[in-house]
Amino acid sequence: MLHILWLIIKWILILLGILIGLIFLILLLLLFCPIRYRGKIKKDRTDSLRKIHATGEVSWLLHIISAQVFWEQGVLKTKICFLGIPLEKIKNLFRKKKEPRALSNSGNQNAKKQTESSRSHEKTSKSENQNDTAELQMSEPQEDTVEDINEILENVIMEPISISEEISEESEDEKKLRTKIADLILNIVGRIKTAVGKLFRIVQNFLGIPKRILKKIQSLALTIRNFCDKINRWKEFLDHPRTREALSFLWKNAKKLIYHVFPTRITGKITFGNEDPAVTGMVLAVLGMTIPFHKNKIEAAPLFDDENVLEGEILLKGRIYGIVVLKTAAELYFNKNIKYVIHRWRHKEVKHGERE
């Protein structure tokens, strides 16, 4: 027994070691195997900007996993590949294998539906026969109900006759006079109420004008005071030495990360021109400002021929290491000054001198 238990524990430990080794290998690949990208932009000498051809590709682990993007004539297309095979083809292969199984299942379902439909027809025929017998039984007349109906009709006919005799005793002229007098009284009372209400509202509005003016002045004063307080808080927050150190540290790491992510190789040539020579000169000046980024590897050829021209081709390549991104994130997370800034941002009402 002990020997068998020892073998089971041994195999469990071997499997756990293999799983831990695979996880460690995947982490190492994510950190030290770079994500490579490249792109290409091409524009022929045409009037429309839609005829730009652009392609981009992102790959990882020696192109085992890759994603491609194409832009042609205003249409965007994407393609994801595994070992150079698009995922659409892999999905189609799995679908073809599942189709014969689905057909066999559909045949069985049709047979079941036919049997169920035959059973339902039999049930409906039986229920119809039962309903016919019930209707025949209900159609037989009952003598007791006829006598009750005759008594109710006699009572209904005698009641309106007695009511009409009582109403005829009162004269119609007296009713008309009473209704006219009541209408006049109601109209007079309603007009008096409306007039009094209007006067009361006018007086109330006139007396409430100074109160409204005071409220508006107080609200304006409060808004101005709150705005000034916010400006002072932001000024104190930004002028604090720890916030300055945090911002400088953040800017240094951001520059390093941008320099790492920026393409390592850029080449190309651009030919451009405009009807106005001043515009071409301005564009050339702007392109000259980008020389520190591509290190003068993109040739710019301006044309002063009084026509609108734009053509060229640009190629770029780069890579991103996961270890660099993780390192910068860890440095930012464990920096005390950045933690202080985050704490101050969450607790804005606390002053700088209270918690440092």
Is residue 258 assigned to a domain? Answer: yes
- Candidates 246, 229, 253; CA nearest to 343 is 246
- Candidates 74, 77, 78, 75; CA nearest to 66 is 78
Q: Tokens 């106005």 belong to which residue?
A: 276
- Candidates 323, 327, 254; CA nearest to 31 is 323
Q: What is the pLDDT of residues 85-143, one digit of tens each?
A: 888 888 888 787 766 555 555 556 665 666 666 666 555 555 555 555 444 444 444 44
Confidence of residue 171 (pLDDT cuts 50, 70, 90): low
Domain count within the chain: 1
Is residue 206 assigned to a domain? Answer: no
Query: 3-state secondary structure string, the chain?
Result: CHHHHHHHHHHHHHHHHHHHHHHHHHHHHHHHCCEEEEEEEEECCCCCHHHEEEEEEEEECCCCEEEEEEEECCEEEEEEEECCEEHHHHHHHHHHHHHHHHHHHHHHHHHHHHHHHHHHHHHHHHHHHHHHHHHHHHCCCCHHHHHHHHHHHHHHHHHHHHHHHHHHHCCHHHHHHHHHHHHHHHHHHHHHHHHHHHHHHHHHHHHHHHHHHHHHHHHHHHHHHHHHHHHHHHHHHHHCHHHHHHHHHHHHHHHHHHHHHCCCEEEEEEEEECCCHHHHHHHHHHHHHCHHHHCCCEEEEEECCCCCEEEEEEEEEEEECHHHHHHHHHHHHHCHHHHHHHHHHHCCCCCCCCCC
Is residue 307 assigned to a domain? Answer: yes
Q: Which two tokens stand for residue 153?
A: 């009709």
Average pLDDT, the chain: 79
- Candidates 245, 265, 260; CA nearest to 336 is 245
Is residue 306 assigned to a domain? Answer: yes
Confidence of residue 144 (pLDDT cuts 50, 70, 90): very low
In the predicted model, is pLDDT for residue 281 greater than 90?
no
Is residue 147 assigned to a domain? Answer: no
Model confidence, pTM: 0.61
Domain range for residue 277? 242-312+321-346
Is residue 175 assigned to a domain? Answer: no
Is residue 71 assigned to a domain? Answer: no
Alpha-carbon span 342 to 335, nearest angstrom:
11
At residue 130, the pLDDT reads: 54
Q: What is the pLDDT of residues 232-259, one digit of tens each?
A: 888 888 888 999 999 999 999 999 999 9
